Structure 1
């Protein structure tokens, strides 16, 4: 079995798994100085875009293509390449299709999609001027595209809105929801979907604290919230997107309203994947490989499910003991260190809350 992986930045997360499955790995990357280029069996430096990877896939006669792209802008090009390669060359591409990317890469499209399928989302309006505002303060101002909190502002007054319009000529304006932030991964392939355990990412703040600076925990345990509701809603969203790969969804739960709100969907690997793996034993990136080699199924996921208490803590630079090999796997470790230098995080797991607290104290 030979698989083409697109992008090297995330490849070290799964290199151990690819090798364990006896898969021959071919990787394309546009940056010859990128990390992890020493890990795959073959590496090809190609121009940006999907034409280079497509040509390498055909030249190398690969059995499947697995994009490992963790940012939004290339996803639509990947989706177009997927539809072409699958139709013309019958090579499976484990990624979202064009319709799913178009619905999820633009926050306005996502809002309309939620409304169409009957999933609750915070009240919103499109502003072309501060004078158009009808929602009560505070509100959240966003652009249609962007990730990681980019171009998002919590406005507490009309002056805040006017300041935002000093930089932008329009905004998606959304009611600010006070409550709990939740993420969940859904895996989908060939019409089968499975929602993994929800992850708790902290409480919303008027200061707009970035998720990377918050302590996160799994599984999600929020008073008044049924995790089955989160999983059911996430499954419904993924089923209606009707595509393949990883779907990472963000929700807000308002305790005052007793309401779960859908916020956005990402059709790519995401920042909570380590915590999900720690919590339930399912590694979403490894499951992309399983989709490519024909070993993904709901039954296999069910057989592998585990149950742990887990947490992820931002620590800057980790200086403790090293995890065992493979360092990015929880198969031999109760903690994993990840993230770039200066912004590292430790994700740890244990069989009980008390054991987890003791482990975190030892690591930090």
Structure 2
């Protein structure tokens, strides 16, 4: 079996798994100085865009293509390439299709999609000027496109809104929900979908604290919230998107209103994947490989499910004990270190809260 992987930045997360499956790996990358280029069997440096990967896939006669892209802008090009390559050449591309990407890559379209399928989302309006605002403060101002907290502002007054409009001509404005931030991964392939355990990402703050700066835990344990509701809602969203790959969804739970709100959905690998793997034993990136080689199924997921307490802690530069090889796998580790130097995080797991606390003390 020969697979083409697009993008090298995430490849070290799955190199160990690809090798364990005896897969011949081919990788394309547009940056000749990118990390992890020493890991695959073959590497091709290609221009930006999807034409280069497509040509390599045809030249190398690969059995499937697995894009490993963790940012939004290239996703629509990947989706168009997927539809062309699957239709014209019969090569599976393990990624979301055009419709799913178009609905999820623009927050305004995502809101309309939630309304259409009957999923509750915070009240919102599209502002073309501060004077149009009808929601009560505080409100959250966003742009239609962007990720990682980019161009998001919590506005507490009309002056804050006016300041936002000195930079932007339009804003998605939604009510500020005071409550718990939750993330969940859904895996989908050939019409089958499975929602993995929800992850707790901390409480919302007026200051708009970035999730990377919060301590996160799994599984999600928020008083009053039924995790089955989170999983059911996430499943409903993925089912209506009707596409393949990884769906990462963000929710808010308001204990005050006892209401779960859908915030956004991404059709790409996400930042909580280490916590999900630590919590339940299912690695979403490895599942992309299983989709490509015909080994993905709901029964296989069920067989892999485990139950741990886990946490992810921002640590800057990790200086604790070294993990076992492979360092990005929980197969032989109870912790994984990830992220660039200066912004590293440790994700750890244990079979009880007490054991997890002891492990965290040892690592930090």
Q: Fold-level match, TM-score > 0.5?
A: yes
**Equivalent residue, structure 1, for 2:234:** 234
Query: How many angstroms apart in 2 are the aligned matches of 1:322 and 1:171?
Result: 46
Distance in 2 between the 1:170 and 1:275 partners?
A: 35
Aligned counterpart, 1:133: 133
Distance 1:266 1:18 in 2: 24
Question: Following TM superposition, by how much is the alpha carbon of 1:186 offset from its aligned partner in structure 2, in angstroms?
Answer: 0.1
Q: Deviations over 1:223-258 (max 9, x none)?
A: 000000000000000000000000000000000000
Partner of 2:206: 206
Distance in 2 between residues matched to 1:275 and 1:358, nearest whole Å:
18
Which ranges of 4 or more aligned residues in structure 1 deviate by more than 2 Å?
none
Find the residue that maps to 1:121 and give its secondary structure. Answer: coil
Q: Map of 1:21-40 to 2, 5 A cutoff?
A: 21-40=21-40
| 2:151 alignment counterpart | 151
**What SS does the corresponding residue of 2:35 show, helix, strand or coil?**
coil
Distance 2:321 2:54 in 1: 41
Structure 1 length-normalised TM: 1.00
Partner of 1:340, secondary structure, is: coil
Distance apart, 1:146 and its partner CA? 0.1
Residue 257 of structure 1 aligns to a residue whose secondary structure is: coil
Q: Secondary structure at the match of 1:328?
A: coil
What are the equivalent positions in structure 2 for 1:311-326 lying under 5 Å apart? Answer: 311-326=311-326
Secondary structure in 1 aligned to 2:34? coil
Instruction: Name the residue aligned to 1:287.
Output: 287
- Residues 152-191 of structure 1 mapped to structure 2, 5 A cutoff: 152-191=152-191
Query: In structure 1, what is the equivalent of residue 278 of structure 2?
Result: 278
2:3 corresponds to which residue? 3
What secondary structure is seen at the aligned counterpart in 2 of 1:3? strand
**What count of residue pairs does the alignment treat as equivalent?**
364
Cα distance in 2 for residues equivalent to 1:329 and 1:170: 43
Q: Distance in 2 between matches of 1:89 and 1:198?
A: 37
Query: 1:321 Cα shift?
Result: 1.1
Runs of 5+ unmatched residues, structure 1: none
Q: CA deviation at 1:148?
A: 0.1
Show the counterpart of 2:20.
20
| Superposed counterparts of 1:344-355, under 5 Å | 344-355=344-355
Matches of 1:171 and 1:318, distance apart in 2: 39
Residue of structure 1 in register with 2:298 after alignment: 298
Name 2:343's counterpart in structure 1.
343
Partner in structure 2 of residue 264 of structure 1: 264
SS in 2 for 1:341: coil
Cα distance in 1 for partners of 2:212, 2:71 equals 16
TM-score, structure 2 as length reference: 1.00
Is 1:82 aligned to 2:82, yes or no? yes
Q: What is the DSSP-based 3-state SS (H/G/I as helix, E as strand, rest coil) of the residue aligned with 1:184?
A: strand
Q: CA deviation at 1:337?
A: 0.1
Give structure 2 stretches of 5+ with no counterpart.
none
Aligned to 1:110, the other structure's residue is in SS state helix
How far does residue 345 in structure 1 lie from its aligned partner after superposition? 0.1
The separation in 2 between residues aligned to 1:315 and 1:12, in whole angstroms, is 20
